[in-house]
């Protein structure tokens, strides 16, 4: 079994849940162990930094900022399970004026990164499902309400049932699992009106 080693000193004080993986002696098992160990290495030794005295996930080794989309994807994919404290630090760092920030921590709110804000909401909800942290739930519920209300007030076009602004990118964001399938989708502005 291959062993994973944490390098950054600041991660030694974090509560991490890193399951071990024993792929056995087969070639496929060894490849799986290597992939798992490499994924942990990238997530913690490369994509995790100490920012203002707190461990947070950043977009990658060459990024010094916490980007909303990447922070949400890290949280949603594995962060909440493997490192709940780091994930919460990351999600909290992406707030501005009581709403989800637009693109990076300490940036301005209204920079049109609509989908990224919605990914934050999904990641925050999943974080609560995993951690059951009621204080974080209360914060994220209020943040989500304010963020969506702002979006609806400033960018929603009722004639089309759509939001104005950018909404397409060829990244993991549009392939993220949606908690509601089309058959159960509800119009967020008018809950009693089904989505087209």
Give tens-digit pLDDT for 115-141. Answer: 788 889 999 999 999 999 999 999 999
Integer-rounded Cα Rg, in Å, for the chain is: 18
Contacts of 64 (CB under 8 A, 6+ apart): 49, 58
Residue 195 counted as domain residue = no
Q: ∠ at Cα 30 (25, 36), nearest 5°?
A: 135
* Percentage with pLDDT > 70 across the chain: 78
Residue 80 counted as domain residue = yes
Say if residues 123 and 75 touch (Cβ distance below 8 Å).
Answer: yes
The alpha carbon of 105 is separated from its chain's Cα centroid by a whole number of angstroms, namely 13
Say if residues 158 and 189 touch (Cβ distance below 8 Å).
Answer: yes
Residue 81 has pLDDT above 90, yes or no: yes
Residue 6 has pLDDT above 90, yes or no: no
| 46 burial level (CB within 10 Å; 0-12, 13-18, 19+) | middle
Token pair of 38, please?
Answer: 């490499």
Contacts of 88 (CB under 8 A, 6+ apart): 127, 131, 133, 136
Work out how many domains the chain is built from and give that number: 1
Residue 59 has pLDDT above 50, yes or no: yes
Q: What is the pLDDT of residue 92?
A: 94
Adjacent-strand bridge partners of 49: 56
* Percentage with pLDDT > 90 across the chain: 44
Residue 194 counted as domain residue = no
Q: Looking at residues 161-182, what average pLDDT do you find?
A: 56
Domain extent for 56: 9-184
How many H-runs (helices) and E-runs (strands) does the chain carry? 6, 6
What predicted TM-score, i.e. pTM, was given to this entire model?
0.80
Please give the backbone phi and psi of residue 172, each rounded to the nearest 5 degrees, phi first: -60, -20
Q: How far apart are CA 89 and CA 68, in angstroms?
A: 13
Residue 74 counted as domain residue = yes
Residue 4 counted as domain residue = no
């Amino acid at each position: 079994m291959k062993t994973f080693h944490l390098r950054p000193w600041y991660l030694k004080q974090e509560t991490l849940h890193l399951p071990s993986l024993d792929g056995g002696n087969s070639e496929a098992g060894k490849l799986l162990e290597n992939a798992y160990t490499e994924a942990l290495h990238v997530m913690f030794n490369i994509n995790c930094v100490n920012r203002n005295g707190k461990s947070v996930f950043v977009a990658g080794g060459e990024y010094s900022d916490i980007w909303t989309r990447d922070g949400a994807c890290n949280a949603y994919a594995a962060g909440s399970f493997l490192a709940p404290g780091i994930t919460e630090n990351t999600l909290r760092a992406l707030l501005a004026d009581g709403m989800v920030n637009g693109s990076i921590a300490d940036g301005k709110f209204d920079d049109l990164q609509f989908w990224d804000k919605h990914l934050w909401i999904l990641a925050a909800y999943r974080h609560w499902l995993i951690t059951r942290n009621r204080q974080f739930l209360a914060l994220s519920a209020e943040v989500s309400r304010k963020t969506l209300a702002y979006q609806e007030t400033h960018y929603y076009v009722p004639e089309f049932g759509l939001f104005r602004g950018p909404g397409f990118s060829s990244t993991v964001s549009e392939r993220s699992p949606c908690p509601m399938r089309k058959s159960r989708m509800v119009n967020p502005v008018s809950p009693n009106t089904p989505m087209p």
